[in-house]
Structure 1
Amino acid sequence: MKVKQIVYILLVVGIGALIAYRIKSNAEIGKNVDSGPRITTVSGMILKPQVFKDNIAISGTLEADEQIEIRSEVSGVVESINFKEGSKVTQGQVLLKVNDIELQAQLSKAQTAKKLASENERRAKLLLEKQAISQEEYDIASADFQSASSEADLIAAQLSKTTIRAPFSGTIGLRSISMGTYVTPSTVIAKLVNTDDLKITFSVPEKYASQVSVGTVLTFTTSDSEEEYKATIYAIDPEVDITTRTLRMRAITDNRENGLYPGAYASVKLPLATINDALLVPSEALIPVQNGKRIFVYQNGKAKEVDVQIGARTGKAVRVLTNLHAGDTILTYGVMALKDGAPVEVKLEEFESLTNVQ
């Protein structure tokens, strides 16, 4: 019995000690609660209007100003090749000669027939003047002469097509034929490209279409170089593509130094309007929410949530379009854990200009 009593006594003492500990802990928590909410220290900045050159970054493709596939309009065996692959050629320069022996023979035959028809027409005219033949017989002779003349002209035109000339000046590419190759109108001989000027084709979202016009100067870079080039918009499609909701445009750039190649990717920076009183905030100050973006503003010692709409971005800043005003103090760093109405202490910092004026 004594052992059992000792166990009961120890159990009562242990329970009592636990209750005393919990009472003391709750009292300390109550003191902490009574001391007031913890004030969070965050970084902030005062909004100031800035000059901002709005622009958008889009992708484009470089295209040759003029580009064709050289083909023969007549079928035949290649008799001579008069160009070197990759060389410059001038407009009208002979590039290729197709064997024309058969056409020469056909032309000779057609010219003989034309001469005979011409003589028959002359004689019929004299006989008609003497009323020795009818008007109908003369008309037949005249028609024969005109038909023979057309046949000779047709063969002469085909004969001229056996000499293939460059339609414009440019650089001719790699040839796909050799001497003696039988070519047809479907045979690609080589490509001729004029790269002195290059076109850049790109599409702009429809909401920016009204801010771009012919004559706008843009800048672009290519994937193989960090050099920045300039181009001028010279043509704009008359309608928006209903599938992509974009408007196609085309600019041209000087490439006489041959630093660019058709078909290359171009990263285009297209300037839009210049805003003289834009409000820019650091990108880390914006909090993504379901319906857009949110930012904290410092008011009366507390953090206040403000829903905002944003515009263009630079590398480190975003333009805010709504619900902020010049002179507002926005919270920029340490805001992810804040709640609306939380007391804060703001450490104002001077931020370097966020504008992208160049």
Structure 2
Amino acid sequence: MKNIIFLFLAAAFTISCGEEINKSSISDLNSEKATLVNQIDSLNILLKVVENQLLKLDTTKKLHVVTVLPVKNELFKHYIEIQGVVQADKNIEIKPEFGGTVIAIYVKEGQRVFAGQTLIQLDDIAIKNSISELTTQLNLAKTTFDRQQRLWDQKIGSEMQYLQAKAQKESLENNLASLKTQAKKMKIIAPFSGIVDEVFPRIGELTSPQSPTVRLLNLDNVYIEADVTETYLPVVKIGTETILNFPSIGKEVESKITQIGNYINPDNRSFKARINISNKDNTIKPNLLADLKIVDFKREGLVIPSTLVQKDQKGNDYVFTLKTENNENVVIKKLIKISKEYNNEVFITEGLEATDTLVNKGARIVKAGDIVRVNN
């Protein structure tokens, strides 16, 4: 078939070119020219048919080799990324209510203590002496009051003596209670269970209400505090999913936003967001930096790699897909619309179907209408 067509073309060309033209008038030459043009057009049409036939029959033709990728139909999430700082509600420096000299330290740094446990004892000898003296006076006042009360019950003695004895007893009772309260405050007591992180004074040093004595922490539950720009007020709410990454310790935690601030900071146009997290192993420390990823878009739909998206001269986004025609893989250009992009993936809202097959490797070297070979 191929040889016959080529022989026919060669003969027609030779005859047309070799035929002697013996024309003298312009009209005859124009007529001859028209005949030759018609022959050329006919031969071009025949040549095109032959070339198409050769293209189908030639097994040695060189085709672009590509790989394919299916369109994924899955849940797509887009995140905003900011930084936050670890905080702990139970992270305090304990200061004494009254000044005094440290006479005993009952704990060491790093030691776990319990709520109500005495940590440091301040010198309370003066208060104890006053308590002892008041106790003696109170015992006498009680005896005097009891006798006056018995006499008053028998209508003996004056009411004034009875009332004075009663007032004396009650005054001493109140003074004694105040001294006992002061004596308790000479003990530095743990307000909650936790770990002693630092002990500031030494035995013999004088403390004051302005000076911390013990830093006490409980890191079983901590929280992340971050500033979020006001632009995200419509999407960042209580319960919004978050991923917390702590690069310094190589730890990642999934959580949700616990609290949203109601105040916009005029200096940086941001609001506070708080995320509570459990920290039973105590690996997350206060003031540790955290990288936050907060979900601001979440939808089920078509997702493809962003590397496959191209732009045409009009600025339209498009991808190449494959369509099988006559047992051949034909490249199809499809215009698409992208809603969100994150982590090298894009969410497609228009232009693709879940059944489409994308041209993956080789997408940059093919064009619409190309016949390609798929490498599996």
TM, length-normalised to structure 1:
0.64
Q: Pairwise CA RMSD of aligned residues?
A: 4.2
Equivalences for 1:337-348 in 2 at 5 Å?
345=368
- Structure 1 pair 113/234, CA: closer, same or farther in 2 (3 Å)? farther
Identity %: 20
Residue 102 of structure 1: CA displacement? 0.6
Aligned twin of 2:213 = 189
Aligned residues: 286
Equivalent position of 2:130 in the other structure: 106
* 1:50 equivalent in structure 2: 73
| Deviation sequence 1:77-105 (CA, Å, 0-9, x none) | 00011222233333333211111111111
User: Structure 2: which amino acid aligns with 1:226?
Assistant: G
Q: Which amino acid aligns with 1:316?
A: N
Gaps in structure 2 of 5+ consecutive residues: 1-65, 321-330, 362-366
Structure 2 distance, partners of 1:345, 1:262, is: 58
Match among 213, 236, 255 for residue 259 of structure 2? 236
The answer to whether residue 233 in structure 2 is matched with residue 206 in structure 1 is yes
Residues 234 and 252, structure 1, Cα contact 8 Å, conserved in 2 = no
Q: Secondary structure at the match of 1:173?
A: strand
The answer (yes or no) to whether the contact 1:282–1:332 under 8 Å persists in 2 is no
Provide the rounded CA distance (Å) in 2 between the counterparts of 1:296 and 1:271. Answer: 25
Specify which of 259, 265, 275 is matched with residue 299 of structure 2.
Answer: 275
Give unmatched runs, 5+ long, in structure 1. 1-42, 288-293, 334-343, 350-358
Asked if 1 retains the 8 angstrom alpha-carbon contact of 2:138 and 2:172, the reply is yes
Counterpart contact for 1:77–1:181, Cα < 8 Å: yes
| Cα deviation code 1:223-273 (max 9, x no counterpart) | 313332x25447324x543334545232212332x3322210111234566
Q: Contact (CA 8 Å) 2:134, 2:176: kept in 1 or not? A: yes
1:252 equivalent among 263, 277, 282: 277
**What letter matches 1:252 in structure 2?**
I
The alpha carbon displacement at 1:155 in A equals: 0.3
How far apart in 2 are the matches of 1:219 and 1:50? 23
**TM-score, normalised by the number of residues in structure 2:** 0.62
CA offset at residue 170 of structure 1?
2.0
Specify the SS of the correspondent of 1:219: strand
Deviations along 1:153-172, one digit per CA (max 9) or x if unpaired, are 11011111222222222221
| 1:36-185 equivalences in 2 (<5 Å) | 48=71, 50-56=73-79, 57-64=81-88, 66-185=90-209
For 1:231 and 1:295, locate their aligned partners in 2 and report how far apart those are by CA, in whole Å: 37
Look up the SS of the partner of 1:180 in the other structure: coil
Counterpart of 2:6 in structure 1 is none
Letter in 2 for 1:126: R
Change (3 A) 1:247 1:84: closer
Q: 1:266 to 1:148 in 2, by over 3 A?
A: same
- Report SS of the residue matched to 2:198: coil
| The one of 305, 313, 316 aligned to 2:344 | 316
Contact 2:334–2:352, Cα closer than 8 Å, also in 1: no
What amino acid is aligned across from residue 263 of structure 2 in structure 1?
D
Greater Rg by CA:
2
Counterpart-to-counterpart distance in 1, 2:109 and 2:87: 20
Please name the residue that 2:7 is paired with: none
- Partner amino acid for 1:317? E
Q: CA deviation at 1:144?
A: 2.4
Counterparts of 2:262 and 2:308, CA distance in 1: 35
- Determine helix, strand or coil for the equivalent of 2:286: coil
Aligned partner of residue 102 in structure 1, secondary structure: helix
In the TM superposition, residue 304 of structure 1 has moved relative to its aligned partner by: 10
Opposite residue 188 of structure 2, the aligned amino acid is: I
The answer (yes or no) to whether the contact 2:105–2:203 under 8 Å persists in 1 is: yes
Within the alignment, does 1:296 sit opposite 2:317 as a pair? yes
Q: C-alpha separation between the residues in 2 aligned to 1:278 and 1:140?
A: 91
Distance in 1 separating the partners of 2:300 and 2:206: 67
Shift of 1:128: 2.0
Residue number in structure 2 paired with 1:337: none
Tell me how far 1:183 sits from its aligned partner.
0.6
Deviation, structure 1 residue 345: 4.5
- Equivalent-residue separation in structure 1 for 2:120 and 2:78 (angstroms): 49
Q: Distance in 1 between matches of 2:287 and 2:342?
A: 28
Distance in 1 of aligned mates of 2:371 and 2:129: 95
Equivalent residues of 1:206, 1:245 under 8 A apart: no
